[in-house]
Structure 1
Amino acid sequence: MKMIRLATVCLLLLSAVACKQKAGNNTGINATDTVKKAIIKPDSSPKENTTRQKKDVNAKFLTYNDDGDYYLLLAQHGDSTISFINDDADRSLNRGDSIKIFWKDDTITMAGDDEMPVSAKRITSIRKIADGPVTLFKKSYGRQMKYTWAPEENFSDYYLDKIYKLVEYYLATTKTELLLRSIKAKEAINYSLESQERDGRRYTMIGIAVPGTHGSNIVQWLYVDDETSQLFEYDLGNDKLMPVR
């Protein structure tokens, strides 16, 4: 009788254990799974954040723009032009220089927009990677250009400096044979400026001259759009303005 009772107790215990295991398996979760998930989740999240918060880019320097409320630096990345807030007083970069820009997200307020905050990229530091065509031109040519303009023209020093840099860029990338010859010989290149209207738009017209037998001869006319600062080469044969890229 005692043996029968013992066997019955053992069967009941085994049945209870089996039911408990079955119930646990139905949930699909065990202690090991919980530990694994607790480990995996923190590891994956920071990797995503690191990718989103990358704040550097390789680009080509285009120009500084100090005309507005904020000092700006414009750079080309692929086919896009990116604008950065640039607090650094250094202005030594030349158009076409390869640079690495480090930046952070920021907000600024624009005049006339009820001081609503606007998202902006603020430069933290810049590293120059390689010289562009203007820097190489300045190193090889090694001379300052001279320029003249009519007394009635109201050109500011800032604007004259901007035009000078555009002419430098043109000379650094030109394929005009007479100019290439003068640059190679390090001859004195000069230019004149005057305001001009064409097809209802205002331009600054530039005449680039090189030394000739009877003094300086203008060998190329350029136009700068007063509104956009786009530089054009004048095609005399077709009477057209060709954008300089």
Structure 2
Amino acid sequence: MRAWQEMAQRAGQGDSKEVRGLILYLVCLAEGLYWDKDEEAAKALHRLLIGMEGRGLDILSWLQMRAEAEDNNSETQESCLALALIYGYGLLGILDLKEAKSCLDKITDSSLFGPVYYFYAVFLELEPDSTYHEILQNYQESLKYWDSPQVQYRLAKYLFHNLQSDEDLNECLNYAHQAAVHGHAKACELLGGLYEEAGEIVSAWAWYWIAIQKGNESVRELWLSLEDRLSSEQRVHAKLLVEEFLST
């Protein structure tokens, strides 16, 4: 059992109506989600947030007070600020953009940049707008601190939905490929879609098949539709592309 699971289990055994217990549980789940990229933590956090019934302000207030009280422990202080930003602006929609930026400015620990900017990527995906390009640029800078396939996939998907130039397309392909190399099945699906849209059905077939091998069954019908369109020679070429990728 991971450390976050043990902590969450202990916190969850108390009175679930007690704010502090709920906060501890949420923090444990968030650490599992953002730092360990743990899928079970993500599901549990999502379920808990749905049933919170307006406790968001309690959680945000506690995190902010905890950050202010930790003047002598900058690591704990910044962790609380990061979580406050993620909860308050990203998950709960309490903070506005100005408050979120103010919170972000106080975070200097580079190890926290990944989780914070991961949240920004989620927000950008939901509400893409030109006014957030500055945030996106900062977010791209954060990749030097947190080289995560989840982050790269989010960036690729954001660029895919906001393509304005060939440069954007090349960036999108680059981020998606980096995520795919690290085993991100949705990134493989995105690459398949990009190549299919460009008429490169051999590459599209290969990426859809790789996505299936990584557990993404949702693309099987797309893969089968391309299977019928490939010639024998193209199929051989596509299989070579798959073998080359899987051997790296």
Same fold (TM over 0.5): no
- Richer in helix (by share): 2
Whichever of the two has the greater Rg, that structure is 1
The TM-score with structure 2 as length reference comes to 0.24
Larger fraction in strand: 1
